[in-house]
Structure formats: C-alpha cells, structure tokens
Amino acid sequence: MDALVMCGGRGTRLDAPVEKPLVDICGRPMLDRVAAALRDSSVESVRAVTSPHTPNTRDRAADLGLDPIEAPGDGYVSDLGFALARVSRPAVTVVSDLPLVAPEHVDAVVAAADGGAATACVPVELKRELGASVDDALVFDHERTAVCPTGLGVVGPADADGETDAETNTDTNTDADTNTDSTMYLSTDTRLALNVNRPTDIALAEDRCE
C-alpha cells in the first residue's frame, strides 16, 4: 500500500521561521518523524505531497527518499486529489503536522479500513484536556461524542470509472472515497491528539515525544 504525507500547505497559523513540515519536534523535523513512522509500518512506499508553497520541504523529502509529488498548492482537497491520481489505492494519507504518529497507529487504521476507507479521530475533550488547539470547523458528532479527525486515514479504492475524488476537509483529512463508506477509527491515544497548528502545540508535542 502506498502512503502520502501531505505537506503542501502554507502553515500560516503556526507562524514558524521555517516551512511547517520542517518545524523541529525534539530535534527532528515533523516530516522526518512522520516519514519514519510510515516506513516502520506495513505500508510499502511513502511519498511526500509538496507544493510551490513548500520548496524546502520538497528538497528535504527528496533527501529522505520520499519521491515528492509536486501538487499545485490550491488547497488540501485539490492537492490530495492530484496526488491520489498518481498512486495506487487504497492509500494511507497523513498530514505532516502529526509528529507523534507511530507505526502502530498506521497499522491500526489500515486494519480498520480492511481494504476500504478509514478515518482516525480523537475525542475533542481529549484535545482540550491536553491544551491542544482545536479547529471547531472540523468537529463532528459520533455516537454522542464530539470528535475531530487526526489527519491519519486510508482512502479507499477508486470507483469503476477510475475516479479519485475524496471526501475530505481542508486541513486535516477525513478521507473517504465518495462511493465507499469510511470506517471510524476512534482513539484516545494522546499522540494522535497533537496536531501542531499553533506555537503552543510545539511545546505540548515536545513534552510527549520520544
């Protein structure tokens, strides 16, 4: 199975001196951490989806052997669709701002997808307890619990016509093929609850990184 690291966004909320995927968490760029987790998982290949907004990330991805896919940079949904057209499916997708993602998380979501689509989510309450940033636009109700996507998921197979449309949000993916039901993978693992979107999230991640 192919895996895509989504790292083409502007990252304006983080206001960092480097491109967002290159922000260090405990001495290692987030891109390096996510790529290492994927490579230690069951996925077969890892590619980085960059854009004109992240030229230094593209160079770093090439150094890591990630074979970058240069997307147009027109937004998460557009870039994801562009990348999906260039890999086999199902495919794992993960945002580059999830620095504590681990191989076991990836494998658990792949298992939950079972050849289809799956979305990893965490309870909003968990993020708020940690003090992690929450994008209210991404919050939804699941069995009377407010949850939000982590940015880790599996996009299911394309339909019979080869379409690659995915039902996603614009920041953290809730990947699901338009013709395939997406399985919910709900986790209370704090490592999946820490997306680095704001400066305060960096300190939270560094307090918990290995």
The CA distances from residue 154 to 10, 18, 127, 146, in Å, are: 23, 29, 22, 21
pLDDT one-digit tens code per residue, 95-131: 999 999 999 999 999 999 999 999 999 999 999 999 9
The better pLDDT of the pair 84, 177 is held by 84
**167 within 8 A of 178, measured Cβ to Cβ:** yes
Output the six-digit token pair for 165. Answer: 């449309």
**pLDDT over 50 at 73, yes or no:** yes
pLDDT one-digit tens code per residue, 29-41: 999 999 999 999 9
What lies within 8 Å, CB to CB, of 203 at 6+ separation is none
pLDDT one-digit tens code per residue, 157-177: 975 344 444 433 334 443 333
Nearest to 6 by CA among 158, 200, 148, 166: 166
Q: What percent of the chain has pLDDT over 70?
A: 89
Nearest to 196 by CA among 129, 102, 100, 128: 100
